[in-house]
Amino acid sequence: MNRQTALEKKKINNSKFAIRLPIIIAITLAAGIQIGAKFFGNKSVIGDVVKSSSKFKEILTYIDRSYVDEVDTDSLADYGIMKMLEKLDPHTAYLPAEEAELAMSELQNGFDGIGVEFNIYNDTVYVVTPLSGGPSEEVGIQSGDAIIEANGTELTGEKVNTRLIFNTLRGQRGTSVDMKIKRKGYNDLLDFTVVRDKIPTYSVDAAYLMEDKQTGFIKITRFSETTYSEFMEGLEELKTQGMKRLILDLRGNPGGYLERAVNIADEFIEGSGVLVYTDGKDDRNDRKIFARHEGDFEKGALIVLIDEGSASASEIVSGALQDYDRALIVGRRSFGKGLVQAPISLSDGSELRLTISRYYIPSGRSIQKPYESGNLEDYYGELGHRAEHGEFFNADSVQNENGKAYETVHGRKVYGGGGITPDIFVPRDTSHISRYLMELYSNNVIREFATSYANDHKAQLEKMSIDAYVKNFTVDSKMLSQIRSNGEKLSIEYNAEEFRKSKEFIQQQVKALIARAIWKDRAGLSNSFYKVVNKDDEFIKAALSHFDEAGKLGS
């Protein structure tokens, strides 16, 4: 049975607007899970030759030859394929060539580009930060620069979106991007030429020792090609610093390469037991993965954080650690994605991600939640259903009736058939959410203010240590007034009551974003950001208060 944290016991005022948020999250997560659908690395599966469908080909031929208007038969074929796959499970998918390439770059070790993290604010593309060691940093691009034009393409106005920016700034290594930059303090546009290069992608967002000097914190956002090596580098650094116990944060992690995930699980689990196995119609797709070596953290209390955004490979890690009584799982029930996709590369560069089996964790339970073939709306809308019956706010509302009970190695009761149910429940706190806050976010007002403030006060802030900053710096009323003013310039109507409701959260986010801009960690890490936000994170508070229990698991 779940135990409630102190936060659940206090009254939380959740508005109807806030309760609907899981539906928005589900739409975002759907895309993330498709990116994270890879199973055993990036190897293509070559199956039996599929018999050609003469009927489909015949119809396309007639359309191409005789239809009254000109038709793009390629896009028509793509549409037909996607509609056909909708009749299968929710995770079998077809990705046209351009989307397949973009999705692959999210998991593989980098892509070719100019190396900036950008932000769209008021129909303009701003540089949040040039990536460390990247080509933009080398030529002098700075945080806060506005990219007005790139290779003759205007990057301002209503037409600006992420796809346009990717298409303009990404490209073959060694090619040039001529950019016109507007920089604060300069009347004229500045000209920069950046030569595209390999830009590494990172998946471990944080790895640092907390204030007590014994608790490590590692956050993994997805399981990509480099995740295991990034994780091991962080783990070794924390052990060197004296870490005795660890919080592994998998919240919002949609999955990725399962091989990288089980390698990480293996670092915590003793012996040579099964970590995950698959079972499908074709025996050739059945596989068992075992723990293979002595891990680097097989002793010491371990807590894993999950929520409804944790899916696929992240559920495998948390589920295996729970089944072996190696970790205490803290948070909310995970997404429930237990279907295995094989990536099949097609001749035109497109990709079919075909569900070939289900995977099972050591206790024998499947974590796949129920679905009705062809009903994607209900499947991804299930998170909204959880909110409606109160599951995000009360442990007693968690519905496990769709899955039977199993037992861990030492006899604890766990459930299958709908995600990983945590040992310690942490309710969603939406008391800070308001429409005013959402408008500030959707117009990037908060992030843009933090970037601008960090640039204007860099010399002053750099005189402080990050620890002193976390302890002493305050986002004051003058700064909040400027945020309000910036919002009004974008026609965001100020609402005093909603501002009061969201004030502390806005202050926290601004403080964290300033910290990330000033105190740089090794490539890929945002330790300074998490050192701020984790101070008031209810998941972290719950984890810290249950380490004694985590340390007794398996004994």
Q: Does residue 55 surpass a pLDDT of 60?
A: yes
Q: Does residue 358 surpass a pLDDT of 80?
A: yes
Q: Does residue 520 surpass a pLDDT of 60?
A: yes
- 307 lies in some domain: yes
Identify the three-state secondary structure at position 148: strand
- The pLDDT of residue 6 is 43
Which of 152, 211, 142 is CA-nearest to residue 183?
Answer: 142
What confidence category does residue 507 fall into, taking pLDDT thresholds of 50, 70 and 90?
A: very high
Which positions are catalytic?
312, 323, 337
Do 312 and 384 belong to one domain?
Answer: yes
* Amino acid letter for position 467: D
- 362 lies in some domain: yes
- 1 lies in some domain: no
- The pLDDT of residue 431 is 92
Final residue belonging to a domain, choices 171, 199, 227: 199
50 CB contacts (<8 Å, ≥6 apart)? none
Residue with tokens 């506005």: 146
136 CB contacts (<8 Å, ≥6 apart)? 114, 115, 116, 127, 130, 194
- The pLDDT of residue 499 is 97
> Residues 441-470, buried b or exposed e (16+ Cβ, 10 A)?
eebbbbbbbbbbbbbeeeeebeeeebeebb
Residue range 36-46: average pLDDT?
46
The chain-wide mean pLDDT, for the chain, equals: 86
Do 264 and 393 belong to one domain?
Answer: yes
pLDDT in tens, 137-147: 878 888 778 99
Residue range 318-346: average pLDDT?
93
CA 92 to chain CA centroid, nearest Å: 20
- The pLDDT of residue 389 is 83
Largest CA distance in the chain: 75
Do 267 and 371 belong to one domain?
Answer: yes
- 519 lies in some domain: yes
153-154/146-150 β-pairing: antiparallel
List helix spans (H) across 142-248: 162-169, 227-240
Residue range 424-441: average pLDDT?
92
385 CB contacts (<8 Å, ≥6 apart)? none
- 47 lies in some domain: no
What confidence category does residue 24 fall into, taking pLDDT thresholds of 50, 70 and 90?
A: very low
Query: What are the structure tokens assigned to 523, written together?
Result: 């490539």
List helix spans (H) across 417-463: 435-442, 445-456, 458-461
pTM for this predicted structure: 0.83
Query: What are the structure tokens assigned to 457, written together?
Result: 């006060």
> Residues 366-391, buried b or exposed e (16+ Cβ, 10 A)?
bbbbebeeeeeeebbbbbbebbeeeb
Per the CB < 8 A criterion, the answer to whether 91 and 33 are in contact is yes
pLDDT in tens, 115-137: 887 878 778 898 877 876 678 88
What confidence category does residue 245 fall into, taking pLDDT thresholds of 50, 70 and 90?
A: very high
Identify the three-state secondary structure at position 510: helix
The proportion of the chain whose per-residue pLDDT surpasses 90, expressed as a percent, equals: 52
Per the CB < 8 A criterion, the answer to whether 35 and 91 are in contact is no
Do 171 and 183 belong to one domain?
Answer: yes
Range of the domain at 379: 204-343+356-429
- Out of 15-29, 93-107, 183-197, 419-433, pick the least confident: 15-29
Which of 328, 318, 355 is CA-nearest to residue 340?
Answer: 355
CA distance 41 to 26: 25
Q: What is the CATH number of the domain that holds 128?
A: 2.30.42.10
CA distance 343 to 37: 8
Do 210 and 192 belong to one domain?
Answer: no
Do 408 and 443 belong to one domain?
Answer: no
Q: Which residues pair with 249 in a beta bridge?
A: 219, 305
Q: Does residue 181 surpass a pLDDT of 80?
A: yes
Residue with tokens 């960690």: 521
- The pLDDT of residue 7 is 44
CA distance 328 to 318: 9
Do 371 and 457 belong to one domain?
Answer: no
Do 168 and 235 belong to one domain?
Answer: no
Residue range 81-97: average pLDDT?
85
CA distance 399 to 414: 13
Give the number of domains in the chain.
3
Do 208 and 290 belong to one domain?
Answer: yes
Do 420 and 511 belong to one domain?
Answer: no
Q: What is the CATH number of the domain that holds 381?
A: 3.90.226.10
* Amino acid letter for position 245: R
Q: Does residue 519 surpass a pLDDT of 60?
A: yes
Q: Does residue 159 surpass a pLDDT of 80?
A: yes
Final residue belonging to a domain, choices 156, 173, 199: 199
- 85 lies in some domain: no
- 394 lies in some domain: yes
What confidence category does residue 44 fall into, taking pLDDT thresholds of 50, 70 and 90?
A: very low
- 15 lies in some domain: no
Do 486 and 412 belong to one domain?
Answer: no
Query: What are the structure tokens assigned to 113, written together?
Result: 């580009």
Q: Does residue 27 surpass a pLDDT of 60?
A: no
- The pLDDT of residue 132 is 65
Query: What are the structure tokens assigned to 95, written together?
Result: 């990705």
Do 402 and 483 belong to one domain?
Answer: no
Query: What are the structure tokens assigned to 151, written together?
Result: 């290779």
Final residue belonging to a domain, choices 407, 429, 451: 429
Residue range 484-498: average pLDDT?
95
